[in-house]
Each structure stands twice: as structure tokens, then as C-alpha cells.
Amino acid sequence: MDLYYEVNGTGHPIVLLHSGGADLRDWTYVAPLLAKHYMVISFDGRGAGKSPDPVGDINFVEDLKGLLDHLNIHKTTLIGHSMGGQIAIDFSLEYPEYVSELVLIAPALSGFNYSSEFEEYMNKVSALAPDIDKMIEVSQSAPSYRVVQASPHKELTEQMLRHHIKRTFNWPAFEVIWPNPPATERLDELTVKTLFMIGTEELPDNLRVAEYFRKQLDARIVEISGADHMVTLTHPEDLYRHIMEFVEG
């Protein structure tokens, strides 16, 4: 197993999947709380943190399965944030026998029709390369980062993003392989018990994903008041409380 991972605590396994542009430090405050009760596995996705750069096309779902098999874990709670949520959803559709509970925190969703405004925002950030300072400035100016930018966790958020951007400059060309058909066309096949959490101070597209889940799936939807996209850093106690109630309940 070439991915970097950390294991803390004992008991039922919980695997944490971080957001895009971040690494396992996304769980700096949530992981220790959960590790009081469970065996918590946090890891850096391929190309993130201390894990190796991609050398070919990436399949995040198969990377996750490889990690679980390496650790001899065949039933786990998956908790995914943002792109980590997208990976967790697709994994739960492909390998439902591995997943006891699914917890999604402001997840992305494969096959979802994101708005032109969101695409323009992403393109604007990319167009500023290689000026990392400008890329971070524009990226973090989005409404979905206003709360964290005004918090003590602003520095950690920007540290993770800076580390990620620097690494991408050295990556070879590659594609990310997602299961086909995408999750938007298969959501009614998701049989795993699911909790969906999202901050109230989010981008309209992320709120639309929450509404899509509300209509398509019998999932528990929880809104975290006053939280933005980096709810993992700014509201760990709230997440912990809802996760405990969900898993134990």
C-alpha cells in the first residue's frame, strides 16, 4: 500500500476521506474526537499530503478498496468531505458490502450538472497559475469560505491548499476514472444508511446537491448553522455529535 495513512483508537473502523485541495489535516479536529470511541483511519489521497503523485490515471474508488483490503477491513463507516464524499458515494455504490454507514459532509457528486458560475469560478482560479498566492486568494474569496477565512483556521486551510497547488504543477497528464454510470443515475441503488451534513453558508451548487439527495434518497439531512464548506475545521464538535448519534443510533 503506497498511500499514507494514520490509525488512531480502537473498535469499529471509521475511514475519513478528505476534500479536494486538502489532505488528512482536513480531519485535524474531528479525528481525535471519533478516536475516543472508534478505530479511525485517515489517509492522504493519491497526489495529496504525504501520498505519492499520480503516475497514470487515478481511480480513487479502487485506491480506497486497496487501503481497506490492506488493513483487513471489510465493514466500515465511511465519512467523506467534499470530493471525499463523492469518492465515498461511488465506493458505496460499487462495494456496498464494505460499508456499514455512510456520512457525507458537503459532498461532490459524480454526474451532477454543476452551474456555469461554478465552472467559471474554477477556471478563473486555474487561469492564475503559476501565481499560487493569487490562486489561493481567488479560491478562498468564494462565499463558501467566508466563515473559515474569518476564523483561526484560515492558516491551516491555506497551508493545505498551497501544498496541493505546488504539487499539481509537477503532475503528469492523467485522467480520474469514476464508475460508469455516474452516481446521479444510480442514487436510488444506494442502500447504505446515510447521513448528509452541510453548512448553511455554502455555494448554491453544493446546496443543490443536498436538495438532490433530499429528493432522491431517504437520507438524514442535517444543516450546520453558520458553517461554510470547511465545516470540518470550524464546527468539529457539531459534526462529532451528529456522527455519534447516527452511528450509535
- Which grid coordinates belong to 128? 492564475
What is residue 115's three-state secondary structure?
coil
Task: Tell me if 46 sits within 8 A of 17, measured CB to CB.
Answer: no
The whole-model pTM stands at 0.96
Task: Tell me if 5 sits within 8 A of 43, measured CB to CB.
Answer: yes
* CA nearest to 12, candidates 76, 78, 82, 55: 76
**Domains (ranges, CATH) in the chain?**
5-113+174-248 (3.40.50.1820)
- Separation of alpha carbons 215 and 77, rounded Å: 23
pLDDT tens per residue across all 249 residues of the chain: 999 999 999 999 999 999 999 999 999 999 999 999 999 999 999 999 999 999 889 999 999 999 999 999 999 999 999 999 999 999 999 999 999 999 999 999 999 999 999 999 999 999 999 999 999 999 999 999 999 999 999 999 999 999 999 999 988 888 999 999 999 999 999 999 999 999 999 999 999 999 999 888 878 899 999 999 999 999 999 999 999 999 998
Residue 210 CB partners (closer than 8 Å, separation 6+)? 196, 198, 221
* CA nearest to 228, candidates 16, 57, 19, 23: 19
